[in-house]
Structure 1
């Protein structure tokens, strides 16, 4: 039943009461400030000149993503619709379900297996460049690897043989990224007045042309598998999804999680976990789940309420926006004991019902369709590094200042020392590079 009391917070007057600039400047600080002010993990404000309910409870986020999913539309088209074109990220209702069913063929177990040799090849090649004499800027290092993997899988590009084209695509996807970041927070300003936004639209045209060319000649990856799906016979549909999949979003998310994983396990009080993970995959799984809980690569998400619904006891009117905070839900003391403490042992019961407590990649009918591929890339990188190296973080997690949107990432380089394991070093370089 809905709670008798109204939503905590204050919607404010149109335009003058808008708090978009304050929110986007530091979303986590904004959330904590007003959650404390209103003594509630759920409250209402005005963002993008629209009444917006912030949801920070675990139950509330679960209801947004699963129980009330049919009452909501995705809320990202305003920011990215022009830049990426129509695709599954912006679709709703039956259209979204149809797209998901069609795209699921790309992420079957058979598909994941067929992509593994590409992932292994790129990882092995890049790890040869790892210089243990110098600290590694891990976010940049992992982002570069993930970018190469994504371009190889999604565009069928041999990044090692096509370095100029790889760099061109990377520059264009970076221009798109800057376009997303340039969407004006001032509700009086149109996004089309932004120079960065205009460059992002130009980059889209160039990338679509590259995608068309790659589709005609690719011999590996998604372009090949797409030809095997009769229902995927719309060129605009295919090109827009390859544009989305090969964007900067996925590499940055992968790099964000990997950075957090190696920073946390690279702290002196967690050195024993490195050996434990090497000998017991279950420990690795538990550590990775706890990293996802504490450091999700996406701080949360946005929905548009198209039909009145009740979230954690509060009635949310039609026409309101919702911002759900994965970061806050994963630290809900009503669900997690010592929610701000890194405790991999909390996942000893590693069953599906336990894993479903995480919203790192969403949940319900709009969860990340590429989750298993992303996790396979992440685990392959972790296991490859664990086989050959020990590591020490030169940065405390508490010292990292983050940019929160659209993907959580560090403002400054985060450095880690990698050192070849003694037992491998004694076997010689030839053997070590074959592991």
Structure 2
């Protein structure tokens, strides 16, 4: 086995966390260049950490590596979310996964389609063709309404005040995920960001419990969660409904949709008219949007024993941070990795779909991917059926990557309503 190149430095003094959070892409590229390796080590969060930006090594970590690692989020986010599938390992994780997977089978996901379509159409009805709007904000509004409607049976039109209150709570709750976990209340300040997030969590749980009692019909999502093998335990149901209704899911959806529409309303606008009639092109564009702009920069694991990771020796107690961004731009897999090229997926990379890791992979991959892609494609079809999308010229399209990938600036687009003749032509 080969020693991981780089240095873990001294405790505290050698920590590189500030460098990473200040500019994670620059941090990554600098260490790849200095070590001449896409796998390197440094001290991060005051823990010796192996950073993985090699596509094949990342895939091994997410598959065979699960036998030697635990999830690395529990210490940071368990108090924010409570115990759920994200923060469990071993047999418990496998059991939760088996229980919850039945909520997201292709057959079950089809039962959500009518509601998803209704929300998309309602949001599109409010679009003014003559005005530029912020693309990310618009996508986040659609995705938030979809998620809260599906998972909490919330109607934004009939209960707008309640809906807006819940959205505000999910935002406060989300800010706690990216704050320092300092659960204190300061005099006159209303408390730290983390403390406010914990308070928002408690308020959200009260709403979830109330809505769960109201929505006891067999078709409601909360009822389906309760029918899972673990669903007779209130803490199981409540914590997973909290996870599903948090800002995490709509932000991920909004990130992918925003990247997709930036590309097909800008440099690749010529492909816009073909997307609806060419399912292969649709898939290729979505794969390339994920490749270049993964919603999450990466993930974290903790080594539970010494083990061999694709030829590198990883020590027990060391953390591993996998860098999806870097792995998706690994030149060993993708030619011209900095170029947005959807046609690569029908060419050299036609067999490489398993090298995209936006939602993890292996035994711990996202269980909700069927629903994710149904929502994303429903939004795309709904929009492109009725509108052509135009990106305002001269905008800075630079991305920021933490905590979720999105443009640094408010990217403005215009949805121009199609004529009935155009709609008929595009739909034929």
TM-score, normalised with respect to structure 1: 0.92
Local SS of the residue matching 1:16:
coil
Distance 2:400 2:336 in 1: 25
Distance 1:84 1:350 in 2: 41
Once the 2 structures are TM-superposed, how far is the Cα of residue 224 of structure 1 from its aligned partner? 2.4
User: What is the aligned length?
Assistant: 420
Distance 1:353 1:96 in 2: 30
> Structure 1's 205 and 426: CA in aligned 2 closer, same or farther, altered over 3 A?
closer
Residue 382 of structure 2: which of 358, 381, 384 is its match?
A: 384
> Structure 1's 39 and 349: CA in aligned 2 closer, same or farther, altered over 3 A?
closer
Once the 2 structures are TM-superposed, how far is the Cα of residue 349 of structure 1 from its aligned partner? 6.3
User: Within 5 A, what are the aligned runs for 1:237-316?
Assistant: 237-267=236-266, 269-316=267-314
> Structure 1's 256 and 200: CA in aligned 2 closer, same or farther, altered over 3 A?
same
User: Within 5 A, what are the aligned runs for 1:225-244?
Assistant: 225-244=224-243
Once the 2 structures are TM-superposed, how far is the Cα of residue 192 of structure 1 from its aligned partner? 4.8
Local SS of the residue matching 1:327:
helix
Q: Deviations over 1:182-229 (max 9, x none)?
A: 126xxxxx5657711001111111111110001011245311222433
Residue 9 of structure 1: which of 6, 14, 31 is its match?
A: 6
Whether the 8 Å contact between 1:402 and 1:411 is mirrored in structure 2 is: yes
Local SS of the residue matching 2:85:
coil
> Structure 1's 347 and 28: CA in aligned 2 closer, same or farther, altered over 3 A?
same
Residue 359 of structure 1: which of 349, 357, 360 is its match?
A: 357
> Structure 1's 125 and 426: CA in aligned 2 closer, same or farther, altered over 3 A?
closer
Distance 1:409 1:271 in 2: 20
Whether the 8 Å contact between 1:300 and 1:324 is mirrored in structure 2 is: yes
Q: Deviations over 1:329-356 (max 9, x none)?
A: 1111111111111111111169995321
User: Within 5 A, what are the aligned runs for 1:7-406?
Assistant: 7-183=4-180, 190=182, 192=184, 195-218=192-215, 219=217, 220-267=219-266, 269-348=267-346, 353-394=351-392, 399-406=396-403
Distance 2:121 2:176 in 1: 33
> Structure 1's 295 and 104: CA in aligned 2 closer, same or farther, altered over 3 A?
same
In structure 2, list runs of 5 or more residues that go unmatched: 186-190
> Structure 1's 82 and 104: CA in aligned 2 closer, same or farther, altered over 3 A?
same
Whether the 8 Å contact between 2:183 and 2:192 is mirrored in structure 1 is: no
> Structure 1's 124 and 261: CA in aligned 2 closer, same or farther, altered over 3 A?
same
Once the 2 structures are TM-superposed, how far is the Cα of residue 70 of structure 1 from its aligned partner? 1.6
CA-based RMSD of the aligned residues comes to 2.2
Structure 1 residue ranges (4+ consecutive) displaced by more than 6 angstroms after TM superposition: 349-352
Once the 2 structures are TM-superposed, how far is the Cα of residue 396 of structure 1 from its aligned partner? 6.9
Distance 1:75 1:424 in 2: 53
Q: Deviations over 1:25-51 (max 9, x none)?
A: 221121112211222211111111100
Distance 1:424 1:177 in 2: 44
Local SS of the residue matching 1:242:
helix
Local SS of the residue matching 2:414:
strand
Local SS of the residue matching 2:409:
coil
Once the 2 structures are TM-superposed, how far is the Cα of residue 294 of structure 1 from its aligned partner? 0.9
